Structure 1
Amino acid sequence: MPNSFGGLERAVLDVLWAAASEDSWLTVREVHRALVGREVAYTTVMTVLDRLARKEQILQQRAGRAYTYRARASRSEMIADLLHGTLDEFGTHDRQSALVAFVEDASADDVEALREALARLERP
């Protein structure tokens, strides 16, 4: 799957998304501290943040001698990008059947959310 994330990458993204509501840029140390309940080395968190920045999944900026990080997009925007990327990777000829298969396997709540989203898009 394109742009799939490992467990630690998802946990780091969760920390950045939680801080995004405050429009905060976090240091490696702040992300490391926020990973409560995980036995992970500081340098591992630094590596994960660097890797996510190189994959352009998060933003990185210089702050003195260190870097700070924040989410590039909201959780829902990133999920939408992943879905679009997956559909694009397999070409347009299977796009409709893939969407139909997705909806057929979707929960009632997901189908209702899709209906509401489509209705909002159709309103002038």
Structure 2
Amino acid sequence: MSRRKLGQLEAEVLAVLAGADGFLSPNDIGDRLAGGAAYTTVNTILFRLLDKNMVDREKRGRAYVYRLTADEPGLAAERMFGHLRLAHNPSAVLSQFVHGLNPKEEEALRALLDETEGQR
């Protein structure tokens, strides 16, 4: 199994929690991650997210379960803005981003841009 990029596992855990209807255990989260992840690794990520006030936890029996409390789309957008603001050439970054989209993502982006254009 290849190692994930810096911050990728945290983003994947956030995505799993965002797609859940309620609380999940670290084992449940690990099972839902692509390629899986060790319990201790997931637990470490959850502790970090808890420190950042991005998740909430509740004790169930002898273990803790977690749920997302942060706004996942807002968090992802803020990360993207941060990278754009730091880039020497933001246009090149956007170009790379757009060229990396799959057809479904590209269609969604086009629809959003069209919607935004109509509001101006």
**TM-score, normalising length from structure 1?**
0.58
Q: 1:46 to 1:84 in 2, by over 3 A?
A: same
The structure with higher relative contact order (CA 8 Å, sep 6+) is 1
**27, 52, 71: which one aligns with 1:73:** 71
CA contact under 8 A between 2:26 and 2:65: conserved in structure 1?
A: no
Please give the root-mean-square deviation of Cα atoms over the aligned residues, in Å.
3.6
Question: In the alignment, does 2:19 pair up with 1:18?
Answer: yes
Gapped runs of 5+ residues in structure 2?
A: 1-5
Q: 1:44 to 1:106 in 2, by over 3 A?
A: closer
Question: In the alignment, does 2:83 pair up with 1:86?
Answer: yes
Aligned length: 109
**TM-score, normalising length from structure 2?**
0.59
Gapped runs of 5+ residues in structure 1?
A: none
1:32 CA drift (Å):
1.7
1:38 CA drift (Å):
4.0
CA contact under 8 A between 2:84 and 2:90: conserved in structure 1?
A: yes
Q: Which position in structure 2 is the counterpart of 1:96?
A: 91
Alignment of 1:1-124 (within 5 A): 4-7=6-9, 9-19=10-20, 22=21, 24-26=22-24, 30-36=25-31, 38=36, 40-41=38-39, 43-54=40-51, 56=52, 58-60=54-56, 69-71=66-68, 72-74=70-72, 76-90=73-87, 94-103=89-98, 105-107=99-101, 109=103, 110-124=105-119
CA contact under 8 A between 1:15 and 1:35: conserved in structure 2?
A: no
**What secondary structure sits across from 1:88 in the alignment?**
helix
Separation of aligned partners in 1, 2:101 and 2:41: 37
